[in-house]
Structure formats: structure tokens, C-alpha cells
Amino acid sequence: MNVTLIGASGFVGTRLLDLLKGEDYSLKNIDLLPSHFFNDLTTIGDVRNVEQMKEMLKGSDLVVLLAAQHRDDVTPISLYYDTNVGGMKSTLEAMECNGIKRLVFFSSVAVYGLNKENPNEEHPKDPFNHYGKSKWEAEQVLQEWYKTHQDWNIDIIRPTVIFGERNRGNVYNLLHQISGGKFLMVGSGCNKKSMAYVGNIVAFVKYMIDNVNQGYNVFNYIDKPDFTMNELVGLVEKVLNKKIPKVHFPYWIGMCGGYCFDLLAKLTGKKLSISSVRVKKFCATTEYDATKVQSTDFKAPFSLGEGLSRTLEFEFIKPKTDDVVFKSE
């Protein structure tokens, strides 16, 4: 099978290429940036350029669309829609031009919005930021496309926050703060945080490539059971064998601090690791339903605790052999 990945020079794509390369696939990666580990498979290209995509997708049997603008602070805002929605339109046009009828698309649980009660795939969509809004618009493009292309196989994955070795996103920042003793618990710590270990999410993509090859399918991806913030801190304590202070600060104090950092970022023009949006995300219950994935015969290779332990050991215990990291949310 000729599998083309678009946007696979980043964190998830790199791990997916690593998993698939030993299998019976012919692989290609199209990305604006070179790959740290798979440059031999990578061609520089822009998902927004339909003519480039038409040329680069020739000979493909299946496309995995990972390319996205996903940070909280992307400027200008139009980049979210140019890449996440416009890139979808370009990809579909290029696929049709080349007779490709299988697509795996990385969307996000951000389409549901914040503080929803364990939403499943059918839950009303209420994205609160431009990332979530643009991902939902991209899904709506796919819905309309499928109405006239029902012989296609479209598989959509909505992962929760993905973490793992080498990632420099929100989960790593949290683990780093906890491990370094610079962690302030805002709220009770009883809010649950749905997460997905990168080793599991790429295994699920491979499962879909191999087994889910008909129809229009949407799956939330979460490693269950969810951890509360208090349980997460407890795991870090155990793996790193260190005592973590458990002082809790009220939510309103945390938000005031976040707004102060927003102002500081605006005045200095610098992107800071703390903001009101990140405080809001930290205190939100981000628990999502994964019953649909659990009803399949997919078996995640790692538990959530194992994924967190592997990440903690790689980042904070084992000696580093290189300095390659991937920055994301």
C-alpha cells in the first residue's frame, strides 16, 4: 500500500512513520519542514497549494492528513483557517484528481469545546478557540464531500491532548513544572484530564489503515481510565521518587495571574508559558468518551500510566542522546 502522510515531520507524524516503516507500506511524507529522522521519506510541500498536492499525491492509495496550525497563539488568526480548512480542500481536490479514495484525518476533541460532560462522537459541537473552530470547519468540508463521494473511505480521529517522549506541549510543561517543584495547583485537583500517549495513538492509526477501510467513520481517541490532576501529581511523585507540594490555589487567583501574563506577553511581544487560556484549560474538566474505540478489537499497547512513566523516564531520568524535540500544545 502506498501511504502518503501530509504534515508528518512533527511529533505524531514522526512516531507514525517510525511505526509504519517496518511494515508492508511504501511511505511518503509531505511537509513544509524537513524531518529530523525521516528526511529520506520527506518531500517539501505546502498543503495549501493544490497544484503541489496534485503532483505529490500521484501513486498514493491512502492519505493521512496531519498538517495543522494548532498552537493557542498563532498569528494571524487566518492561518488556522488557511491551513486547517484550506488544506483540507486542497487535499480532497488533489486526491480526486489522482483517484485516491481513502483518507485518515486528524481532527481534535477541541471541536466539542470546554467543560463538556464526557462527550461522545455525536455530542453537539461547540469549539471555543480558532483551532477547534477550524478543525470543525474542516470536518464539515468532509461531511459535504462524502455526500457526493460515498464510495470513499473517510476516517476521522479526534484525539485528546497527545503527549510522549520529545514532545514540548502542555503535558510536558505540566510534568516539567511538577518535577521541578515549580508547580502551583489551581483548583481542587479533582478535575479529570483525558490524555493520549503518542505510542497508542499511532498504533490506532495503523489499526484504522489496516482494518477500517469502508464508510465515513469518526472516533474519539483517549487512553482510559482518565487521571485527575491529583492522581497525575501522585504518579510523578512515584516515578521520580520525589515529594511534590500539594498547596491548592483558588481558581480566581489563578485566572488573575493568567491575565497578568497575557498583559505581559502583549507588552513584551513574547510568547509566555502561562496565559489565561492555559489556566482555563488546566482547571477545566477535559473528559471525553472513548466507548466507540473500546468497542473495536483495537488494543492499546500501553496503559495511560505506562505512557506517562515512559515519558517521565525519557525526559527526566535517562541521559539524553540528542536534543531533538517537537513543540506543540
Mean predicted lDDT score pLDDT of the chain:
93
Q: Which residues are catalytic?
A: 131
29 pLDDT higher than 80: yes
Domain assignment of residue 220, yes or no = yes
**pLDDT at position 77:** 87
In this predicted model, what pLDDT tens digit does every residue of 83-105 receive, in sequence order? 999 999 999 999 999 999 999 99
Residue at 317 is within a domain: no
Domain that holds residue 156: 2-164+194-224+288-302
Q: For residue 13, what pLDDT is reported?
A: 98
Q: Do the bridges between strand 192-197 and strand 223-228 make them parallel or antiparallel, or are there none, so unpaired? A: antiparallel
Dist CA 79 CA 327 (whole Å):
17
Are 222 and 194 contacting, i.e. CB atoms less than 8 angstroms apart? yes
Instruction: Tell me the per-residue pLDDT of 223-276, one tens digit each, with 9 for 90 and over.
Output: 999 999 899 989 999 999 988 777 778 888 888 988 999 999 999 988 776 788
Residue 329: predicted pLDDT: 61
> How many domains does the chain divide into?
1
Q: Helices 229-240 and 170-179, interaxial angle, to 10°?
A: 60
φ and ψ at residue 19, rounded to 5 degrees? -70, -40
pLDDT tens for residues 150-205? 999 999 999 999 999 999 988 998 899 888 877 777 888 888 889 999 999 999 99
Does residue 213 fall inside a structural domain? yes
Q: At what angle do helices 251-268 and 276-283 cross, to 10 degrees?
A: 150
Tell me the C-alpha distance between 246 and 265, whole Å: 28
C-alpha span between 257 and 95 (Å, rounded): 47
Question: Mean pLDDT, to the nearest integer, of 277-300?
Answer: 88
Number of residues assigned to the chain: 329
Q: Is the pLDDT of residue 20 over 90?
A: yes
Higher pLDDT, 327 or 156: 156
Output the pLDDT for position 282. 74
Per-residue pLDDT averaged across 277-287, rounded?
A: 77
Domain assignment present for 184: no
Domain CATH code at residue 53: 3.40.50.720
Torsion sign across C-alpha atoms 176, 320, 327, 11: negative
Asked whether residue 229 is domain-assigned, the answer is no
Is 186 inside a domain boundary? no
The pLDDT value recorded for residue 276 is 87
- Give the Cα separation of 258 and 102 in Å (integer): 43
Mean pLDDT along residues 125-151: 97
Neighbours of 156 (CB within 10 A): 23
Residue pair 274/261 in contact by the 8 Å Cβ criterion = yes
pLDDT above 70 (res 316): yes
- For the chain, percent of residues with pLDDT exceeding 90: 74
Query: Considering only 140-149, 177-186, 299-308, which range has the smallest mean pLDDT?
Result: 177-186
pLDDT in tens, 43-57: 999 999 999 999 999
Helix (H) or strand (E) holding 223: strand 223-228
Q: Does some domain include residue 260?
A: no
Q: Is residue 328, in this structure, part of any structural domain at all?
A: no
- What are the beta bridge partners of residue 104? 64, 155
